[in-house]
Structure 1
């Protein structure tokens, strides 16, 4: 690749085209502008994709049909040199070309360079632009990507947050802003969500911003129907939980929660309104936590319904190990204070060790080791009680 770029730059350095005023882009475009070269009868697109772009033979065969109009390496050479100037690695080039072969036929001077110049004016660095390209190579060939990035950047608060959203769904850059995204954002604001909350929704459930506005309105109605009104602290979490669930699916999950945790209609309503995340937990996970919390720990279903956050924590890595430690302390008369179970579970790891392990180093020198063992999935005999 380095030898290729060197030969391209040597061959193309004399070309002259109009470029943006940004000096670095000027130099980059000057070095990668494609001159007019007569068709090369020996040029084979498929071989070029394999030998120069790093695609597999199967990928090249598939991609070559979309580049059959190329008669010489002039234009793709210029694109590759331009991408190299942005810092795109040869590995990433192969990925990009496999996803969007027509990127190689884009015009550097009329398409890629102006887009890069405008994105730079928005405050994106070359590495940022390279990342953006990796998320959406097809959209990168459209000038509309600039206006979309310009809209999303203040909404998400930073380029990093925008990239987090694009990681889950680059389709955000392909949807119509005026007809879809903006109406959804405006409606969510009317529902009491601030831009920070909307950005979090966009990162976690990007499709909520890009789906049909009527569908978003239905999600809001569903959240309200489950007992979480607009403007409440849990509203965003409920929207995230019910996103793209149909009414039948939600009803089935509510019924499963009732049976699994032995809740009444009132209790399941309380639990869901305080812990909407439960709607997205797998049945297996919910069943395991119900068995442990009710059958082994002995918690009342009503207690769990009022404090459903404990269901979010890892059973094997947090809930079960802490339960065994506290049970050991109580059995041996080492724990004077009567901590509630939810307080024990929600305490940070640092606080738990400070409160439940460190004070007993002399009376139970093995406790820290045993606790670590349980976190790894092994329960020492000392922590097992009939």
Structure 2
């Protein structure tokens, strides 16, 4: 038999609070057994133990009860635990040790429930002992094993579901004979499409109602649609794990119309796939809701479709915000003097619509603290609207580098606000060090330093590093931040 973590199945058993009952010593003679059942378990002669059967205190029955109690004690159950178990599930006293209790205990021990874990499991859900081993317990264990994988290292890797977990509106997750085949089919379907056990567990944990799906009429058509539109290989599990809601939305009334609307703007399946991968909730947005309304607002203002597509591609969240915010943002940007047909218009709208009034004012105050006038701030914004997406801390860091380290003219940031998008440590400072070395060697012609900061990476490396390696062999090390190379003389 395979071995598996004992926490694996335990996590899926519905945990119930157990009432404390009185305990007593339990010698095995008949009189003491009767006293134990009466005083500790709250049972008396005639108490119901199962359908149509009453608790009997006769010689034959007492012998049977003693055998069951003795069996539990031999498997590590203490008197108090036996009392709790019997009081919770009296029908256990009608069980047969040889062909009921013993096979179940052996199965549970074989799969890892040994020592104190065995009583703990059974006390958590006494119903285990009245369920069928072959038609309920084993199939349940195997389906959970399919979902979690053979190792089942920890509860964190599990789906976090119990037999009472909600799986869809008004329905509970039931792992019984009737549903086992359905769950197995769903798990098998996911595995056939590249999902790993851990991914299936995560998916089911986040969206239990997936287990109520029908493979042929629900999952399969959606997977085929997604694959036809570019979500193949690892992209498919990644998309669905990012937004499990995709699998519970209607294919014809939700997913397809939304996809068509996005494609209408982006004009390319590849761009649509890229945009949805960046923001997977796009696919589950209502195509007749804010997205459609916001697109209509922009179109009515004369914004070209290709520019709207660029907005969706770069900052998809803006197209799904409340339409009133979009209307206000469009009005603000037009008042700033940016024309709707200008490709910067959608960038400006995105910057405005994504910020609250208070956040906008904070950015303005940061720029003013750097010595900029409102006119200069407006000029920089119109040149490169996304610079307002920078955090206040980054704004200050870039300004500090440009003014105090690179000694750039104060007006440089206003002319080239694109500098705000670059990392000081990963781009600006490494390039500055190279340029300083080139100046010392008189190898830098009359070029403005600021413009060299936003040259393409390949162009910069080829024209300002590789080109001068004969004169300065350690120039690449300087660019990469090798401290030893930086301290060497370049003269």
The normalised TM-score by structure 2 is: 0.61
Q: Aligned in 2, Cα 1:381/1:114: closer, same or farther, shift over 3 Å?
A: closer
Q: Aligned in 2, Cα 1:47/1:204: closer, same or farther, shift over 3 Å?
A: farther
Measure, in 1, the Cα distance between the counterparts of 2:181 and 2:285.
33
1:192-207 map, 5 Å: 192-207=302-317
Task: Give the alignment partner of residue 106 of structure 1, picking from 213, 237, 242.
Answer: 213
Conserved 8 A contact 1:220-1:239: yes
| Alpha-carbon distance, 1:131 to partner | 5.2
Please give the secondary structure, in 2, of the residue aligned with 1:52.
helix
Cα offsets for 1:71-118 (capped at 9, x unmatched): 331211121222233333333222221211111111223323344456
The reply on whether 1:140 has 2:247 as its aligned counterpart is yes
Question: Structure 1: where are the runs of 5+ without partners?
Answer: 1-37
Q: Which residue of 2 is the match for residue 312 of structure 1?
A: 421
| Alpha-carbon distance, 1:301 to partner | 1.8
1:196-345 map, 5 Å: 196-260=306-370, 262-335=371-444, 337-345=445-453
Q: Which residue of 2 is the match for residue 188 of structure 1?
A: 298
| Alpha-carbon distance, 1:140 to partner | 1.7
Cα offsets for 1:10-53 (capped at 9, x unmatched): xxxxxxxxxxxxxxxxxxxxxxxxxxxx9x86259985664221
The reply on whether 1:66 has 2:172 as its aligned counterpart is no
Measure, in 2, the Cα distance between the counterparts of 1:352 and 1:117.
45
Q: Aligned in 2, Cα 1:125/1:367: closer, same or farther, shift over 3 Å?
A: closer
Question: Structure 2: where are the runs of 5+ without partners?
Answer: 1-131
Measure, in 2, the Cα distance between the counterparts of 1:384 and 1:289.
27
Q: Which residue of 2 is the match for residue 51 of structure 1?
A: 145
Q: Which residue of 2 is the match for residue 380 of structure 1?
A: 486
Please give the secondary structure, in 1, of the residue aligned with 2:473.
coil
Q: Aligned in 2, Cα 1:50/1:273: closer, same or farther, shift over 3 Å?
A: same
Measure, in 1, the Cα distance between the counterparts of 2:416 and 2:221.
55
| Alpha-carbon distance, 1:216 to partner | 1.8
Measure, in 2, the Cα distance between the counterparts of 1:198 and 1:171.
18
1:125-164 map, 5 Å: 127=233, 132-143=239-250, 144=253, 145-164=255-274
Q: Which moved more, 1:219-228 or 1:340-349?
A: 219-228
| Alpha-carbon distance, 1:367 to partner | 3.0
The reply on whether 1:89 has 2:199 as its aligned counterpart is no
Measure, in 2, the Cα distance between the counterparts of 1:306 and 1:359.
29
Structure with greater Cα Rg: 2
Conserved 8 A contact 1:180-1:212: yes
Conserved 8 A contact 2:271-2:313: yes
Q: Which moved more, 1:251-260 or 1:158-167?
A: 158-167
Q: Which moved more, 1:156-165 or 1:284-293?
A: 156-165
Q: Which moved more, 1:251-260 or 1:218-227?
A: 218-227
Q: Aligned in 2, Cα 1:134/1:45: closer, same or farther, shift over 3 Å?
A: farther
The reply on whether 1:368 has 2:476 as its aligned counterpart is yes
Q: Aligned in 2, Cα 1:97/1:191: closer, same or farther, shift over 3 Å?
A: same
The reply on whether 1:174 has 2:174 as its aligned counterpart is no
